[in-house]
Structure 1
């Protein structure tokens, strides 16, 4: 039980041909193969990015470069966390 025999596979293929037509099946198979290749390459890239991040330490901040500073809120209070230097809003001048 749970295994597909040759009869079931042939029946599924006949139903697919009837539903989608013989012209669309090769295009569908081609796009499915393309999607599988993209997924495989993205998964490989994610694995290599993870290894590269673990191997290389983060670059130290440059002494002359200004880093944005954030005022930290109390744990759980995300509404009061804001940047130190807020941009001025010139659109609502009265």
Structure 2
């Protein structure tokens, strides 16, 4: 039987270990600020991703409209 390496969401024990390490590294007083900064960074990343996806959809739509116009002219 072969064991496959599956990386999934951490469970309760893993989350507690990560939290303990974070407290040791950054201190309990800095964790709320760190969490806030991380949340803001993730929000900015999602905004940027959504903007790029929107631009790609618009470009694809414009390209398909131009292709339809060209095939209609011939």
TM range (shorter): 0.5 to 0.7
Question: Matches of 2:7 and 2:30 in 1, distance apart?
Answer: 29
Residues 44 and 5 of structure 1: CA distance in aligned 2, closer, same or farther (over 3 Å): closer
Q: Which has the higher helix share?
A: 2
Partner of 1:49: 55
**C-alpha RMSD of the superposition:** 2.4
Partner of 1:21: 27
Question: Matches of 2:28 and 2:50 in 1, distance apart?
Answer: 34
- Unpaired runs of 5+ in structure 1? 58-94
- For residue 50 of structure 1, report the CA deviation from its aligned partner: 1.2
Question: Matches of 1:2 and 1:47 in 2, distance apart?
Answer: 27
| 2:12 counterpart of 1:6 | yes
Q: Which has the higher strand share?
A: 1
Bigger shift: residues 2-11 or 22-31: 2-11
- For residue 2 of structure 1, report the CA deviation from its aligned partner: 6.3
Larger Rg: 1
- Unpaired runs of 5+ in structure 2? 1-5, 64-74
